Amino acid sequence: MGRANLYMNPLSGTFYRIIVAGLLFLVGMVCRGTPTEFNIVAYGAKGDGFTLNTVALQRTIDACHAAGGGVVRVPSGDYVTGTIELKSHVTLSLDYGATILGSTDLADYPTEGLDDPREGGPHCLIYAKDATHISIEGLGVIDGRGTHLNFPRAKDGDLRNRLIRPRLVRMDSCQQLTFSGITYKRPAFWGIHLVDSRDIVFTGVTVRFRNNNYNNDGLDLDGCENVLIENCDIQAGDDAICLKSSLNPCRNIVVRGCRLASNTSPLKFGTSSRGGFIDVSVTNCYFYDSPMGAIKLQLVDGGIMENIDISRITMENVGNPIFIRLGNRGSTFTGRFSQGQGADVEPEGAPVGTIKNIRIRDVTATVTIEDRIKAASPPYKGIKPVTTPGVTDSEKSRAGPIMITGIPGHYVEDVVLENIRFSYPGHGTAEDAQREVAEDIARYPEQFFFGPLPAWGAYIRHARNIEFKNVELSLRSEDARERIVFDDVEGFSESMDGEQ
C-alpha cells in the first residue's frame, strides 16, 4: 500500500524524475572520462582587476567547446569581463580566490546574437542558448558590480530602464544545467534567470544581492522543468526563489534545505503565470528577514497552479506569511512591462486560470512590523525613516494575515493548511475591522496593495473547500479585528488535534 501510494503521488514522481535526470548527468560525466582543462590565463586572461578579459574568456570557452567539452578553469585573481557565452559540455570552474567581475561599462554588454527575453532586456554577463551539459562550479565569486551607482534605475521609475540593466546569468532553452558552490553577488537587474530549460540542479549556491539595486531577484525560473534547488543560502533584494511562467509551465520543482531572505519574498510563484505551476515541493527551509511577505502563490495571467506541497518551514521576522492570489491581469507577454501597477487597470486578455490542490503544513512564523530604520537602510532607495507615531496603514498591510483570495466567479480551491503556528503583531483598529477590501482583479498582485485587512489572522475570499487543520493563530498585542473573515467562501472547515 505504501509503495503504491509513493508511485501514485505526483510529488513523489517529481523527486523521481529529478533524481533520474541527475544520475544521467553523472553517468554522462563518468563516460566522458577525466575532463580536459582549459586555463583562461593560457588564453590571455589577466586577473589584475583592471584588464577587460571578455575576448580571452570567450576564446577559452570556444576552445573547450570545440574540443568536445571540458573544464574552463579560472584561477585565483580578479577577472573583469563583459558578456560571455557558455556552450555545450563546458564547465566553468572557479578556484578559491577567483572572482569574475562584471564590467561597469554598459558598452561591454552587447546584445547582438542574444535572444530577446519575454521579460526585461537581453543584456547579461553570462549567457547560454540551446546548450546542454553546462556547469558553473567552484569556490569562487561571480560579482556583477551592478550597484545603483554603476547601473542606476531611471529616476522616474521608468520600467523600460530594466531593458538596459544586465542580469548576472541568463540561459534560454538549455538542458542539464548544474550550479554548485559559487557565490553570486551584485547583479544590476535579476540574478540567475533560466527560461524554458530543464534538468537543472542548484546545490550549495550562495547569493548576496540584498540592498544593492532594484529588482535583484535571486533565482528566476521561467517555464523550467525537473529542477532541484537544495542547500542554498540566498539573500536577495527582490524575490529569493521566484518561479515564473511567461509562456510554458514550471513543472516538477523541488526546493529543500535552503535559507532564504528577501526584501520582497523568500518564495514566490508569479507574477508572470501564463503557463502555470504544476507539481512543486518546498520543504525543510528557513525564511527570515522578509518584511513584505513570505510565501506568495500568485496566478494572474491564466495557467494552472496545482499540486503544490510546502512543508517544514520556519519563518522569522517576516511580513504577510501566506498570500494565495488568483487574479486577472491577463498578460500574454507580447508587449513590454504591462504590469498593471495601478488600482484601476484593466485585464489584458489572457483567460483566468485555476488554483487548486495546495497543501501547506508544518509551518511556523513570527510576523513582525519592519523596523523603520532598517526599512530606510538600502542606499539605492534614498528614503528616510518613517517618523509618524504609532503603526501606519502601510506597515500594518505588510504585516497582515494569511490572505487567500480569488476574484468574483473564479475561486481558489482545495487548500489545506495543517499544523500551522503563526504569531502576529496586532495593532488593528475598529476602523480596520470595517474596511471594504477592493477586488483589484487586474492589479499587480502584492498583498499590501489591499491595505490593512479586516482580519488579523486570515482573510479568505472567493474560495472553495478551504481546510484549516490544527492551525494556531495568536496575537502579541491588542487587535480590534476578527481572527478570520470570510467573503464568498464555500466549504470552509477548521479542526484542532483531538476534535472529531
Could you tell me if 254 and 398 lie in one domain?
yes
Q: Write the pLDDT tens digit of every residue in 314-373.
A: 999 999 999 999 999 999 887 644 555 667 788 888 999 999 999 999 999 999 999 999
| Domain identity same for 277 and 205 | no
75 burial via Cβ count (<10 Å: 0-12, 13-18, 19+): middle
Residues 38 and 63 sit within 8 Å (Cβ to Cβ): yes
Measured CA to CA, the distance from residue 240 to residue 223 in angstroms comes to 17
Q: What's the DSSP call for residue 56?
A: H
Domain count, the chain: 2
* Of 202, 165, 201, residue with least CA distance to 186: 165
| Integer angstrom CA distances of residue 482 from 284, 368, 459, 460, 490 | 31, 19, 9, 12, 19
Same domain membership, residue 190 and residue 244 = no
The pLDDT assigned to 325 comes to 98
Q: List C-alpha distances in Å: 110 to 60, 161, 215, 342, 414.
A: 19, 16, 21, 34, 48
| Same domain as 208, residue 268 | no
Whether 191 and 259 map to the same domain: the answer is no
Instruction: Judge if 71 and 207 occupy the same domain.
Output: yes
Same domain, 190 and 280: no
pLDDT at res. 425:
98
Considering the domain architecture, whether residues 79 and 192 belong to the same structural domain is answered as yes
pLDDT digits (tens, 9 = 90+) for 115-147: 988 888 999 999 999 999 999 999 999 999 999
The per-residue pLDDT for range 366-381, each reduced to its tens digit, is 999 999 999 998 888 8
pLDDT of 8 over the 70 cut = no
Dist CA 401 CA 453 (whole Å): 8
What is the pLDDT confidence band of residue 55, given thresholds at 50, 70 and 90? very high
212 and 255 both lie in a single domain: no
Domain check: are 148 and 243 in the same one? Answer: no
Q: Does residue 5 lie in a domain region?
A: no
- For 414, the domain range is 239-333+340-500
Average pLDDT over all residues of the chain: 92
| pLDDT given for residue 310 in this prediction | 98
Model confidence pLDDT, tens digit, residues 155-165: 655 555 667 89
**Residue that wins the pLDDT comparison between 380 and 433:** 433
pTM of the model: 0.93
**Structural domain ending residue among the three candidates 165, 182, 217:** 217
Residue 131's CATH number: 2.160.20.10
C-alpha cell at 369: 512590523
Q: How confident is the model at residue 9 (pLDDT cuts 50, 70, 90)?
A: very low
Task: Indicate if 255 and 212 belong to the same structural domain.
Answer: no
Q: 482 versus 156: which is more confidently predicted?
A: 482
- Pick from 367, 352, 256: which is nearest to 301 by CA? 352
Q: How far apart are CA 360 and CA 314, in angstroms?
A: 12
Query: Is 18 contained in some domain?
Result: no
Cell numbers at residue 190, please?
535579476
Report the 10 Å Cβ neighbour count for 114: 18
Clarify whether residues 311 and 433 are in a common domain: yes
